[in-house]
A = this chain, B = another copy of it.
Amino acid sequence: MSKAKRLNEMIMMVNRKRRFTVAELAQEFQVSRRTILRDLQELSEMGVPLYSEVGPHGGYQVLKERILPPIAFSEDEAAAIFFVLHALRQYISVPFDAEYESIKKKFYLNLTGSIRDTIDHMKDRVDFMTTAQQEVIPHLKELLEAAIHQDVITIQYESKTKKSERNIQPIGIYAQEGNWYCPSYCFVSQDYRVFRCDRIKRVEINDKIEPIDLSHIHLKNRFSILNENKETYDIHVELTARGVERFKSVSWPVLVLNKRDDGTGYVSGTFTKQDTDFMAEFFLSYHKEARILKPEELIQRTKEKVNELLKQYEL
């Protein structure tokens, strides 16, 4: 095996093993200890964060910030990565600000001339208008990591009215209308709750509480599971062709858009009682393009909303 190939494979191997000894690698790669020592020194110089301890139970360790073997991207791929990094960061706070900068730097070092200009110009030529105010969400990364590793965490949560401390186990994170939310199992209320991530002021891993098994629940299926014991309504809303167009840009997992051949359509599905207010306001904003047929409770609530509007505009 050539040296270059051996080094690449060595990066992957040490990343996988985390701890290893020189003799061990010498055995695996069928080269001498001396060669492995020289290779490890080269990896260090390349940026692999290695650390060694002598003595029994000593050996090498790879620290955090492990690096991958070098990858050659095409210019189009580089442009795609820049595009999505730039675009998504415009759209919403993402938990990777430091990484964005370092990725940018690495690419810039390897780009010359026209492609560099292309990428520079892209910044002025792509925009995301529905952007929320760019407030940094400090604990988003920790929440995502807790969701991935299924850790229990202790958070301090500040809702509009009160502060509280809770132990939760995140299911995932999702973005909606420019905000990040974190649906989780809450050990305090012993039920599932959705937390708005910018209101989570402190996150600490809590290894005293045993995580519950959420492996079957993730973001795609949580609605059907979590709504099981709640009071729900069946909904039916007729949409004009324009209404259909508009509804297409919304997608709630619980509401389904059914199109007809003539362009009109209707919304069906179920929603929980506590969302009645939201649904009333939502379909009211469609004006003539939406007509609620079911449920009666939603129609009633909508009428009340119109009455409130009436008063405000003194007709």
* CB of A220 to closest CB in B, whole Å: 7
- 118-134 of chain A: CB within 8 A of chain B: 118, 121-122, 124-133
Q: Given the complex of chains A and B, what is the CA–CA distance between A302 and B308 in angstroms? A: 14
Q: Is A110 an interface residue (CB 8 A)?
A: yes
Q: CB within 8 A of A75: which of B67, B111, B219?
A: B67
A22 at the interface (CB under 8 A from B): no
Would A173 and B126 count as touching, CB distance under 8 A? yes
A110 to B15, CA, bound (A): 10
Q: Chain A contact residues (Cβ within 8 angstroms of B): what range?
A: 35 or more
Quick check: is A189 within 8 A (CB to CB) of the other chain?
no
Whole-angstrom distance between the alpha carbons of A47 and B133 in the complex?
A: 43
A66 near B74: Cβ-Cβ < 8 Å: yes
Within 8 A of B (CB), among A242-290: 248-252, 281, 284-285, 287-288
When chains A and B are docked, how far (Å) is the Cα of A174 from the Cα of B113? 26
Q: Are A125 and B218 in contact (CB under 8 A)?
A: yes
Q: Is A161 an interface residue (CB 8 A)?
A: no
Q: Is B302's CB under 8 angstroms from A306's CB? A: no
Nearest CB in chain B: distance from A236 CB, A: 16
- Judge whether A178 is part of the interface by a CB distance below 8 angstroms: yes
Instruction: Give 20 A-B contacts (CB < 8 Å), ordered by A residue.
Output: A12-B110, A67-B72, A67-B73, A67-B74, A70-B72, A71-B107, A73-B103, A81-B103, A91-B91, A118-B148, A124-B219, A127-B173, A130-B251, A132-B249, A178-B248, A179-B249, A285-B285, A287-B305, A303-B313, A307-B315
Instruction: Tell me whether B287 and A110 are in contact (CB under 8 A).
Output: no
